[in-house]
Amino acid sequence: EVTQEDLDVFALGRTGSLANDENKAQLIDQLGDLIVLSNAALKAKLDQQPATQAAVELQRRSALAQATITNFLETNEISDEELKAEYDRQSGGQPKPEQYKARHILLETQEEAQAVIEELKGGADFAELAKKRSTGPSGPQGGDLGWFDASAMVQPFSVAVIGMTNGQYSEVPVQTQFGWHVILREDSRETELPGFEEVKDRLRDAMSQQQFQAYFQELKALAKVEMAE
């Protein structure tokens, strides 16, 4: 006989969710196969083999370890008040993230990039040069990259953009793995930090993990694991 609890545990292990009308019969059949094979092992006394005993014990230990984690998280749930206090603490000292609006002209060599810079110094229009000279996918749009976070760009590019002022173009070519860039920083703006409701679930997970790790380290400090002689 297969109990509902047997089926629930088996289904969670196989599919990550409880059995439903579509897969219940299949899961019962698979669990039945497992029972048939395990009964054959018991009849042949394979459960008395040291390797089998070690495997069974490790499975038992694994289930108990997971039960410990689940029990801790369920009995140490973090309240919304604690979450809000932590959100306020973290967001209070953070500067508002900045976004940038820029164009770029991507070229294959430093010499080509330097030649474009000289044309810009002579009064050439950046967007028109990008359409004519840029090898990047934004070239037909005048090199327009729109608004972006600095972290969205490769580091040499983002460092250059951050170090510029609005309306300034790079007077030294910027090299990345994609080639040589001439960059025009058109604008910048501060953006709002994500709201409490937006990050609450992620913050809860992070705080729960921190609490459990502290508890786990206390357990480890009292334990000693060594090889048997």
The predicted model gives 119-124 an average pLDDT of 96
Q: Rounded distance, CA 47 to CA 54, Å?
A: 10
For the chain, the straight-line distance linking the first and the last C-alpha, in angstroms and rounded, comes to 42
Question: Taking the mean position of all CA atoms in its chain, how far away is CA 223?
Answer: 33
Q: Which residue, among 157, 211, 224, has the nearest Cα to 185 in the 3D structure?
A: 157
Q: Which two tokens stand for residue 196?
A: 């409490």
Q: Is the pLDDT of residue 122 over 70?
A: yes
For 7, 14, 50, 51, 58, the CA distances from 55, given in Å and listed in that order, are 22, 19, 9, 6, 5
In this structure, are residues 129 and 119 in contact, taking their beta carbons and an 8 Å threshold? yes
pLDDT number for residue 189:
92
pLDDT in tens, 57-99: 999 999 999 999 999 999 999 999 999 999 988 887 677 778 9
Q: Where are the alpha helices (DSSP H) in 93-195?
A: 110-121, 126-133, 155-162
- Name the one residue in this structure whose structure tokens are 């380290």: 217
**pTM of the full structure:** 0.58
pLDDT in tens, 7-65: 999 999 999 999 999 999 999 999 999 999 999 999 999 999 999 999 999 999 999 99
